[in-house]
Chains A and B, each alone.
Chain A
Amino acid sequence: MTMTSAEGTPAPPRMSAFARKGGLKAHERRVGRLFLLPALAAFALVILFPFLRALGVAFTRSDLQTPEPVFVGLANFRAILATPEILGAFVTTAVYVGLATAGTVVLGLGWALILNQSFRGRAVLRAVTLIPWVLPSTVTAFVWGWIFNSRFGVLNAALVGVGAIPHPTAWLSTTGGAMTAIVITKIWFSIPLFMSFFLAGLQSLDREQIDAARVDGASNFALLRDHILPHLRPVLLVVIVLGVIGNLQHFDTIFALTGGGPVRATSVLSIEVYRRAFDQWDLGMASALGLLWVATIMPAAYFYLRHLLKGA
């Protein structure tokens, strides 16, 4: 099974320029475009137009004092570069994305390797693994907010109980603790999806090759290093790119758990843009910052799109 099932199927043969002009081909073009129309209209309304509008607003002053946007050129971008706390959000975002992506890749891969063994109850385990992924964001935040609770949280009780820490930590109200909490929360509900990708990749592994290596006396570790991991390389790239895109955009559980705090310790770009736009109603700055945010996503997006459109 390949990652995109589209790859496996040859596209219909390309028509010569001459044949394309024929009546049937003209008909095909017309019908094809008509089928596309509804989605395209929706796309224009809720995605393309809002994006272009944000692009314009980013170069204006548009806030509560200035309800009619005034063109200010690059002033918003200059203001961003001159504000250390906004620049800090880029660093916070990088830390969050780096830790969450790395953690999810390692644990997602580990879990996929485990669920790829055959044992009784495997199908059930695979199914329930998806639960963290499908829970509403608010529920996820509640679950972890309760675990990380400073007074009655089970984590503090366990850590103090085994003597790992001398007294309870106020996880969500310390700089490092809050970052730890939001990263762990993100890893927790992203493992299922990553695991599914790795598992799909593992299922296309050549069993005979594995068996042959085993007959040659390869250890489990050698098998992993020389056969399994090289086979998973393309999947790994897709998963990392998807993880980076998803983590760069994530808002819900961070907002619900810490609101970007304490102070600005977990104020990643998504939180920062939201605060500028919907707390302060400074749409010019929010849009400018949002565009820089898009720019950080673009490199990952490029690889992702190239992968998706292979053979299209």
Chain B
Amino acid sequence: MFDLSSRSAKLVFGTVAILIAFFLFFPIYWLVISAFKPNAELYRITPTLYPHDPVLTHFATAFGRGNLLQQLRNSLVVSCSAAALNTLLAIYAGYSFAKFRYSGRRLVMVFLLSAQVFPFGLLLISIYPVVTSLGLIDSLAGLTLSYIVFALPVSTYMFYSYFTQVPSEMIEAARADGAGELRIFHTIVLPVSIPAVVTVFLYGFMWSWNDLLYAMTLIVSESKRTIGPGMLLAYLNEVNSDWGGAMAASIAASAPIVVAFAFLQRWFIQGVTAGSVK
């Protein structure tokens, strides 16, 4: 886009690029190398720029605490279930909005989408008693159910905008052949919608995996903790912080989501920018 043949243009462009890149990537570099520094190297007034004496002790202590693996497993269970539930609910709603016309449709769309702007914190005040009365407080099932709040509105919209691009002729032809509506959806629409399904699943997974607020409020037992609040409680202790352990645990907690994105990011970004998410 820009013409960078002149020296001054190269200089300005290059400087800005390096500054932003440094801001974006240095913290990640620092996270990773800090996990490999022995304590003597970690707690120095003048830090070393790379681990001179790399060790794996922080990983050993982080996993040795025993809770980390369990928290990772809890997070995995909740995030997969929440993502699946969210995808299942959103896909039919998005299909309905895109391919059917009925009175009240637009109104319901407004309602569903506006849910995205209600602060999660405010909804939590009332979700708490709802989950309690369902007998699901302090349970992974209750947390899973609550995570619908985060992703359902945007996921529905992502499916909606995807399905508007699926030609209606395909559906009408099948209907003319006498196929049932559920069969039309599952054999004709669903197979061409895999990119959207992957995107929405990952989106729901990400919200649940990364959440702190709901996880720390709706779960009380140590054995049911997910990684967000679990790590916070384990490491952010003002008196005696174990930063090496915190960094090692962070790498373990980030690995699944980063790996998932590495494979799926191209689809994902298209879906998300089309859905205009927060």
The reply to whether A36 and B96 contact each other, CB–CB distance below 8 Å, is yes
CA distance A312 to B109 in the complex (A): 9
A57-B126, A152-B47 known; A138+B20 contact, CB < 8 A: no
Q: Which of A40, A42, A146, A293 contacts B119 (CB 8 A)?
A: A293
8 A Cβ contacts from A29-86 to B:
29, 31-33, 35-36, 38-40, 42-43, 45-51, 53-54, 57
The reply to whether A135 and B254 contact each other, CB–CB distance below 8 Å, is yes
CA distance A192 to B273 in the complex (A): 11
Residues of B contacting A135 in the complex (Cβ-Cβ under 8 angstroms): 210, 250, 254, 257-258
Q: Is the interface of B mostly helix, strand, loop or mixed?
A: helix
In the complex, per-residue mask of A1-45: 1 if CB is within 8 Å of any chain B CB, else 0: 001111011011011000010000100110111011011101101
A162 at the interface (CB under 8 A from B): no
CB distance from B241 to the nearest CB of A (A): 8
The reply to whether B45 and A287 contact each other, CB–CB distance below 8 Å, is no
CA distance A122 to B152 in the complex (A): 33
Q: Which of A53, A131, A157 contacts B47 (CB 8 A)?
A: A157
B146 at the interface (CB under 8 A from A): yes
Residues of B contacting A287 in the complex (Cβ-Cβ under 8 angstroms): 122, 125-126
For residue A277, which residue of chain B has the nearest CB? B125
CA distance A151 to B25 in the complex (A): 23
The range of chain A's interface size is 35 or more
In the complex, per-residue mask of B261-275: 1 if CB is within 8 Å of any chain A CB, else 0: 110011001001110
CA distance A15 to B130 in the complex (A): 42
In the complex, per-residue mask of B4-19: 1 if CB is within 8 Å of any chain A CB, else 0: 1000010001001100
In the complex, per-residue mask of B238-278: 1 if CB is within 8 Å of any chain A CB, else 0: 00000100110010011001100110011001001110111
The reply to whether A256 and B236 contact each other, CB–CB distance below 8 Å, is yes
The reply to whether A151 and B23 contact each other, CB–CB distance below 8 Å, is no
The reply to whether A245 and B93 contact each other, CB–CB distance below 8 Å, is no
Q: Which of A113, A138, A255 contacts B227 (CB 8 A)?
A: A138
CA distance A227 to B217 in the complex (A): 49
CB distance from B193 to the nearest CB of A (A): 14
Q: Which of B17, B108, B120, B278 contacts A36 (CB 8 A)?
A: B108
Q: Which of B17, B44, B96, B266 contacts A35 (CB 8 A)?
A: B96
Q: Which of B31, B45, B100, B227 contacts A143 (CB 8 A)?
A: B31
A143-B31, A188-B27 known; A117+B277 contact, CB < 8 A: no
Q: Is the interface of A mostly helix, strand, loop or mixed?
A: helix
CA distance A274 to B125 in the complex (A): 8
B90 at the interface (CB under 8 A from A): yes
Residues of B contacting A228 in the complex (Cβ-Cβ under 8 angstroms): 1
A35-B92, A305-B113 known; A6+B125 contact, CB < 8 A: no
A171 at the interface (CB under 8 A from B): no
B28 at the interface (CB under 8 A from A): yes
CB distance from A173 to the nearest CB of B (A): 10
A233 at the interface (CB under 8 A from B): no
Residues of A contacting B31 in the complex (Cβ-Cβ under 8 angstroms): 139, 142-143, 146
The reply to whether A246 and B122 contact each other, CB–CB distance below 8 Å, is no
For residue B229, which residue of chain A has the nearest CB? A138
The reply to whether A196 and B112 contact each other, CB–CB distance below 8 Å, is no
The reply to whether B232 and A256 contact each other, CB–CB distance below 8 Å, is yes
For residue A12, which residue of chain B has the nearest CB? B168
Residues of B contacting A214 in the complex (Cβ-Cβ under 8 angstroms): 3
The reply to whether A114 and B20 contact each other, CB–CB distance below 8 Å, is yes
Residues of A contacting B95 in the complex (Cβ-Cβ under 8 angstroms): 35
Give the B interface residue count (CB, 8 A).
Answer: 109
CB distance from A230 to the nearest CB of B (A): 14
Residues of B contacting A197 in the complex (Cβ-Cβ under 8 angstroms): 273
The reply to whether B243 and A149 contact each other, CB–CB distance below 8 Å, is yes
Residues of B contacting A36 in the complex (Cβ-Cβ under 8 angstroms): 92-93, 96-97, 108
CA distance A255 to B162 in the complex (A): 36
The reply to whether B152 and A39 contact each other, CB–CB distance below 8 Å, is yes
Residues of B contacting A129 in the complex (Cβ-Cβ under 8 angstroms): 24
The reply to whether A293 and B92 contact each other, CB–CB distance below 8 Å, is no
The reply to whether A143 and B27 contact each other, CB–CB distance below 8 Å, is yes
In the complex, per-residue mask of A221-232: 1 if CB is within 8 Å of any chain B CB, else 0: 001100010000
CA distance A266 to B20 in the complex (A): 26
Residues of A contacting B28 in the complex (Cβ-Cβ under 8 angstroms): 131-132, 143
Residues of A contacting B110 in the complex (Cβ-Cβ under 8 angstroms): 305, 309
In the complex, per-residue mask of B32-49: 1 if CB is within 8 Å of any chain A CB, else 0: 001000000011111100
For residue A53, which residue of chain B has the nearest CB? B126
Residues of B contacting A125 in the complex (Cβ-Cβ under 8 angstroms): 21
CA distance A15 to B103 in the complex (A): 12
CA distance A32 to B181 in the complex (A): 10
A130-B269, A144-B27 known; A117+B122 contact, CB < 8 A: no
B235 at the interface (CB under 8 A from A): yes
Residues of A contacting B254 in the complex (Cβ-Cβ under 8 angstroms): 134-136, 139
The 5 closest A-B pairs by CB, nearest first: A32-B100, A50-B126, A290-B122, A39-B93, A35-B96
Ordered by A's residue number, 17 sampled pairs between the chains whose C-beta atoms are within 8 Å are A6-B160, A9-B164, A12-B101, A32-B105, A39-B89, A39-B152, A43-B115, A47-B115, A49-B126, A53-B126, A151-B43, A210-B1, A249-B278, A251-B121, A274-B121, A293-B121, A300-B117
Beyond A33-B96, A132-B28, A307-B276, list 9 extra A-B contacts (CB 8 Å): A11-B164, A32-B100, A152-B43, A202-B1, A238-B276, A242-B278, A245-B117, A269-B119, A287-B125
